[in-house]
Amino acid sequence: MRNKLYGELSGIVFLILALGASVLIGKEMLFAVLAIIMLLAQLGIHTFLLKKRTKLFWVYAAALAAEILLLVTNEFWIFALGILLLLVAGVWNVFFAGEVRKSGKVFLVVRRVLYGIVTLVASVVWIINLYVQPITGPVTLPAELTAEINHDQLDSPTTMLENIEKMNSFGSRTTGSDGHNQFITWLQQQVTDMGLTVYRDKYTFDRWEEKRSSVTIDNEDIHVSSAFPYSGETDSNGVTGEFVYTKPGEYEEAKDKIAVVEIKNFKKFPMALVMNIRGKFGAPGGIPSDEGDLVLTTALKHAKLDEAKEQGVKAVIIVWDGVSDDKAEKQYLPFTEHYFGIPAVWVNKTEGHKVINAAKAHKAGTVILEAEKQEHAPTESFYVTIEGKNKKESIIVNTHTDGVNVVEENGAIGMLSMIRYLQQQEQPERTLIFTFVTGHFRLPEFKGTSQATSTWLQAHPELWDGKDGHLKAVAGLTVEHLGGLEWKDNASGQYGPTGAISTEFTYAGNEIMEAIWMKAVEDRKNTRTVMLRGHNNFQFGESQPLFNAGIPMIGLIPIPDYLLVDSADREMDKFDVNLMHEQVGSLLRALQLMDGIETTELGMADRYSFFLGRTK
């Protein structure tokens, strides 16, 4: 009986080690060390106490060799073999370590069912990792492969700033708005003036845009932080009714009334669920746990306006919790929802106390949310090309043109500078396709299979899929959110600059792309690079469609806390044009490195990694 329990305990330890090493990306070496200790102990017991070498002994020996090799090589296939041997050792100990007396049969069955579940989970995880290969080794680019930027030919920071100010002069550029359409027209004129042909894709959609919002209680104005985009609208008189404090989705008591709900911000989101670090440069802290917190909060914590609409609620007031009033101001969130047909507004925590107290006292008030609705509103994507020597291959450089402030989205301004620079250089090896897409701020209608660029890819297989004489896209480069400085809520709840630049999250489609970007930023004065792999089918930004299409890509996408702030000054106090200038230089270097590498070396995009990603 004692030997049986010892065997089962050993088996479950091996199964846990196999499962932990498979699920916790970046902890493989830790689990390898733990496995080595456990395996040495088992081999010692078999050699010195049991004094026999069974078949299980040799499984232990093979597993030990695999784990030691993993520490030396960090090779995925060695990792996979080691996990398999740990699973074999675990199953062997749990299910084939002898019998127990009849009185223990029922307990044995229960234990074996539980062990079987653990074994099944660990085995499934192992098979998934065998498919996605979460461990990739470092790649060193050839020493002779270089890409130097002639800064005399690159737009100066002053020129970039002039273009930024021109973009800002159009105001907010939500999808299909007047400001957005004017910006697109200006961009097209810029590339036309460079002698390039503009290829357009025209679309129509139903557009919604806030014009005025307010909340009043007892003739007192309650400050509205922002309207809920595409929620709904009222007439100029608004809707009046009793305020009812409730929870999202529990709207039964708010029929013909105004619901008040709270959404608590994720201050410490488990970033390992949505991000997985490949490597980093100039970013010792890794991924901040509060990065992109409001975007993630509104994506994962829903006010459930559909249910409010079904219950006959007149309007919904959503109170921010866990975020400073200044940080909550003018946030255009969420920006990925469909039209609900019920007016909803956000208020900050300070004003929220007043609204919640009024609701608890059964007071009445008025919500006004006037909005412009436009059916079949026009918008368009466009692209231009710089023809390469190789007529069969292409590299796609992409961004989106819609946004709300200086950082979101200034990628198009960066791409203008890149095009101007490249036109002064020798003809590229491959055809460069610069794609300016619309619809990022209206993803319910433009996201295609993932983000707005996927709609463009579906419309233009001739530019990337390599079939039937089409161009084959061998690499991609996504340009988003340039020049952003970091602003955060501090420990006292005050919102302000940290003195650092915003973390430069950069997705790499494979290890070659990671090496290219690391080389592109190695001489930067100011960088905070965190290289990422698409994780759990999640990837921020417009590089995701390229990754999903199997195109090895680099996607620069910082995610500052003010990314979605639709303010009158366009968040210019949080923008550094010199940083943008550096980033454009890095993007150009990366593009030239991509163009100088053989297609076979560029490879294919990796698959998404799964489970818990590395964050440090």
Q: Is the pLDDT of residue 1 over 60?
A: no
Beta strand residue intervals within 87-236, DSSP E: 199-217, 220-222, 226-227
Distance CA 553, CA 547 (A): 7
More confident residue, 191 or 94: 191
Q: Is the dihedral of CA 545, 548, 549, 550 positive or negative?
A: positive
* Phi-psi sector, 195: left (phi>0), alpha (psi -120 to 50), beta: left
Contact 402, 172 (CB under 8 A): no
- Separation of CA 212 from chain center: 32
Mean pLDDT along residues 327-352: 98
Q: Which two tokens stand for residue 302?
A: 């829903």
Give the pLDDT score at 136.
Answer: 83
Q: What is the DSSP string of 33-85?
A: HHHHHHHHHHHHIIIIIS----HHHHHHHHHHHHHHHHHHH--HHHHHHHHHH
Mean pLDDT along residues 84-112: 73
Q: Which two tokens stand for residue 55?
A: 């078949």
Contact 66, 81 (CB under 8 A): yes
Q: Is the pLDDT of residue 135 over 60?
A: yes
Distance CA 170, CA 182 (A): 7
Nearest of 309, 305, 310, 315 to residue 240 by alpha carbon: 315
* Mean confidence (pLDDT) of the chain: 94
Q: Per residue in 319-339, pLDDT tens?
A: 999 999 999 999 999 999 999
Q: Per residue in 412-443, pLDDT tens?
A: 999 999 999 999 999 999 999 999 999 999 99
Mean pLDDT along residues 509-520: 96
Distance CA 314, CA 242 (A): 10
Distance CA 265, CA 242 (A): 26
Looking only at Cα atoms, what is the longest distance across the chain? 90
List residues bridging with 565 in a β-sheet. Answer: 331
Give the pLDDT score at 284.
Answer: 87
Nearest of 372, 231, 373 to residue 314 by alpha carbon: 231
Contact 512, 139 (CB under 8 A): yes
Q: Which two tokens stand for residue 508?
A: 């790499």
Quick check: helix, strand or coil at residue 119? helix
Query: Residue 184: CB partners within 8 Å, gap ≥ 6?
Result: 379, 380, 382, 401, 436, 438
Query: Residue 415: CB partners within 8 Å, gap ≥ 6?
Result: 397, 399, 434, 436, 479
Give the pLDDT score at 289.
Answer: 86
Q: Per residue in 18-61, pLDDT tens?
A: 999 999 999 999 999 999 999 999 999 989 888 888 899 999 99
Give the pLDDT score at 418.
Answer: 98
Distance CA 600, CA 78 (A): 24
Distance CA 14, CA 64 (A): 12
Contact 519, 138 (CB under 8 A): no
List residues bridging with 425 in a β-sheet. Answer: none
Query: Residue 128: CB partners within 8 Å, gap ≥ 6?
Result: 610
* Phi-psi sector, 577: left (phi>0), alpha (psi -120 to 50), beta: alpha
Q: Is the pLDDT of residue 394 over 60?
A: yes
Distance CA 242, CA 85 (A): 65
Length reported for the chain: 616
Q: Which two tokens stand for residue 43?
A: 């081999």
Report the predicted TM-score, pTM, of the whole model to 2 decimal places: 0.94
pLDDT tier at 477, thresholds 50, 70, 90 = very high
HEC states along 462-491?
HHCECCCCCCEEEEEEEECCCCEEEEEECC
Distance CA 477, CA 398 (A): 6
Q: Is the pLDDT of residue 449 over 70?
A: yes
Cβ-count burial 176-187 (b if 16+ within 10 Å, e if not): bbebbbebbeeb
Q: Is the pLDDT of residue 252 over 60?
A: yes
Give residue 245's identity as a one-letter amino acid code.
Y
Q: Is the pLDDT of residue 161 over 70?
A: yes
Distance CA 172, CA 179 (A): 6
Q: What is the DSSP string of 309-355?
A: HHTT-SEEEEEEESS-HHHHTTB----S----SS-EEEE-HHHHHHH
Give residue 595's identity as a one-letter amino acid code.
D
Distance CA 408, CA 399 (A): 11
Q: Per residue in 165-214, pLDDT tens?
A: 999 999 999 999 999 999 999 999 999 999 999 999 999 999 999 999 99
Q: Per residue in 559-610, pLDDT tens?
A: 999 999 999 999 999 999 999 999 999 999 999 999 999 999 999 999 999 9
pLDDT tier at 99, thresholds 50, 70, 90 = low
H-only helix segments in 318-463:
325-328, 349-360, 411-422, 443-446, 452-459
Q: Is the pLDDT of residue 303 over 90?
A: yes
Q: Give the whole-number percent of the chain exceeding pLDDT 70.
A: 97
Distance CA 571, CA 332 (A): 13
Number of H helices and E strands in the chain, helices first, is 18, 17
Contact 392, 536 (CB under 8 A): no
Contact 309, 563 (CB under 8 A): no
Query: Residue 250: CB partners within 8 Å, gap ≥ 6?
Result: none
Specify the pairing of strand 344-347 against strand 364-386. unpaired
Q: Give the whole-number percent of the chain exceeding pLDDT 90.
A: 87
Cβ neighbours around 360 below 10 Å, total: 12
Q: Is the pLDDT of residue 534 over 80?
A: yes
Distance CA 493, CA 173 (A): 30
Distance CA 484, CA 576 (A): 6
Distance CA 607, CA 610 (A): 9
Distance CA 483, CA 485 (A): 7
Give the pLDDT score at 46.
Answer: 85
Mean pLDDT along residues 250-263: 98
Cβ neighbours around 447 below 10 Å, total: 18
